[in-house]
């Protein structure tokens, strides 16, 4: 993985903590909109993690493959991810 491992780990641990908090909120039968707000905050962190990983992949793996004249496979791989993100 080309992404900043410490940053990714920190973000994922934050998301894990938020998910644990969301579970507690559900167990405590907290207000729906408060739970929804926490779900959206966690989703934003997960999206940020994915963006960091994809950005590092483009700057590392894709760039390297293109320079070696083997970029088509990596570009196709990246486009498959972009297609999933836009659905």
- Predicted confidence at residue 77, as pLDDT, reads 92
Structural domains counted in the chain: 1
Domain of 38, CATH number, reads 1.20.58.1000
Using DSSP, how many helices (H) and how many strands (E) does the chain show?
4, 0
- Predicted confidence at residue 76, as pLDDT, reads 93
Query: pLDDT tens digits for 12-30?
Result: 999 999 999 999 999 999 9
- Predicted confidence at residue 6, as pLDDT, reads 94
Q: What is the span of the domain harbouring residue 29?
A: 5-85
Cα angle 80, 82, 83 (rounded to 5 degrees) comes to 65
- The share of the chain scoring above pLDDT 70, in percent, equals 100
Q: Which helix (H) or strand (E) holds 86?
A: none
Query: pLDDT tens digits for 35-71?
Result: 999 999 999 999 999 999 999 999 999 999 999 998 9
- Predicted confidence at residue 47, as pLDDT, reads 95
């Amino acid at each position: 993985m080309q992404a900043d491992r410490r940053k990714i780990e920190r973000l994922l641990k934050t998301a894990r903590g938020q998910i644990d908090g969301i579970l507690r909120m559900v167990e405590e039968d907290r207000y729906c909109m408060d739970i929804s707000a926490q779900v959206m905050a966690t989703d934003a962190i997960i999206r940020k993690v994915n963006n960091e990983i994809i950005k590092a992949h483009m700057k590392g793996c894709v760039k390297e493959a293109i320079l070696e004249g083997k970029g088509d496979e990596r570009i196709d791989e990246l486009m498959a991810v972009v297609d999933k993100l836009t659905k």
